[in-house]
Amino acid sequence: MVTVFLPCRAGSERVKNKNTRAFAGNLGGLLAIKIAQLLSCFEIDKIIVSTNDDVAMSIVTNLHGADPRVELIRRPEMLCGSHSSTDDVIKYVPTVIEHGPVLWTHVTSPFVTGYHYKEIIKRYLADMKSGDHDSLMTVTEVRTFVWNEQGPINYERTVEKWPRTQTIKPLFEVNSAAFMVDVEMISRVNDRIGRRPRLFPLDRKVSFDIDWPDDFDIAELIWHNLHNIDFES
């Protein structure tokens, strides 16, 4: 049984009401879009929306209140403040999910669709069967010139000062679009990944995350383009 943990707290500081405000003509906002995407993936058995936001609760209740796959859980306020840590929320997950694989995702990744979730789950289950990995997290390949104060960290200037970026050994940025691990592992290591996570690459546009006001505007433009919607309509 695959359970989604979908955190959706109130009080975004950088993008006001980013989870629930209208997005590209969708009145339920990013939250409504994400739940629809998750419901389209039949490998998912339950979706737990963890929130302290009354507006989010209203959206979920009005759209999916009768759907047995969607469960609304009010998260304690102590885990919803601007100073609350992700580590504390991780420790909270086993109190609301008792057993089985947990797919942790975010409403701020509107281009991760049901198809992508299906592929993520398939890859995770195959890895668990083979024992190759004990968890999964989505990443974005970084193939560019990455330096710290001491110099380049992903290529050797003694070999080639400016190699073609296609030949640079990639680094991987954690894009936070999805994490997948068994809840027993969460309890054991207090993390949303295990010791040997599968790095699951996603295209940069697919994994686009809305974290700043400009991101919200750019994501709306991408959404309109993907869905052939007249932006002025």
The 10s digit of each residue's pLDDT in 99-135 is: 999 999 999 999 999 999 999 999 999 999 999 999 9
Residue among 127, 125, 135, 141 nearest 196 (CA): 135
pLDDT value for 229: 54
Distance CA 44, CA 38 (A): 7
Q: What is the torsional sign of CA 65, 70, 71, 72?
A: negative
pLDDT, average across residues 199-218: 95
- pLDDT tens, 59-84? 999 988 889 999 999 999 888 877 78
Q: Which residues lie closer than 8 Å to 189 by C-beta, 6 or more apart?
A: 195
Task: Record the pTM.
Answer: 0.93
